Amino acid sequence: MVRCVPSAVIVCFLRPPQPGRTVIFHDVAVLTDKLFPIVEAMQKHFSAGLGTYYSDSIFFLSVAMHQIMPKEILQIIQLDLDLKFKTNIRELFEEFDSFLPGAIIGIAREMQQLADKYHFRGHLGDQDFFTMIGMEHPKLFHVLDCTWNRQLCTWWRDHGYSDVFEAYFRCEGHVKIYHGNCNTPIPED
């Protein structure tokens, strides 16, 4: 058995890439330094305030990655680490084939209806930015159904949204990705 140090743990579990594919690891500090001048102006509008968890520049990576990543990268899937795949990630890459002309982002809508109806005040950085852009320019987005991001967090039910919680929490269909947001345990199966 190989013993992994925390900083290299993902490398221990990563299979060699298929021919024609490349896996590149990036230093978070370097990315943050590149991101800051690009996203600084938005940070004050899309985070809960200086020093809060989602206020760091790295949480705005998706907004500016097209400016800091190598130009050879034509498609990117950005994922949280608190996920459990119930399907082959290849199926998620196949979603790119379903994008309509002009669509540049695939996104799970998550709480958009809740935000629209109840004027929800966000604090999740780039996620709030994309929710706002999606309301103004829906044709830029390819909407993924909730089974691609089955969120498990129930925090909102107990913090002011119990009357509408089930409307956004409900997700019908065969789950493809469980999302253990809010440190929620992911089902074992």
* 3-state DSSP assignment of residue 85: strand
**Calpha distance 155→132 (Å, rounded):** 22
Q: Does the predicted model carry a pTM greater than 0.85?
A: no
Instruction: Calculate helix-pair angle for 61-68, 126-136, nearest 10 degrees.
Output: 90
Q: What is the pLDDT along the chain (189 residues), one digit of tens a residue?
A: 455 554 566 666 667 777 877 777 778 888 888 988 988 887 777 776 677 766 778 878 888 888 888 888 888 888 888 999 999 998 999 999 999 998 887 766 554 444 454 444 555 566 767 777 887 888 999 989 999 999 999 988 998 889 988 888 899 999 999 999 889 999 997
- Residue 64 contacts residue 35 (beta carbons within 8 Å): yes
* 3-state DSSP assignment of residue 94: helix
- What is the rounded end-to-end Cα distance, in angstroms, of the chain? 25
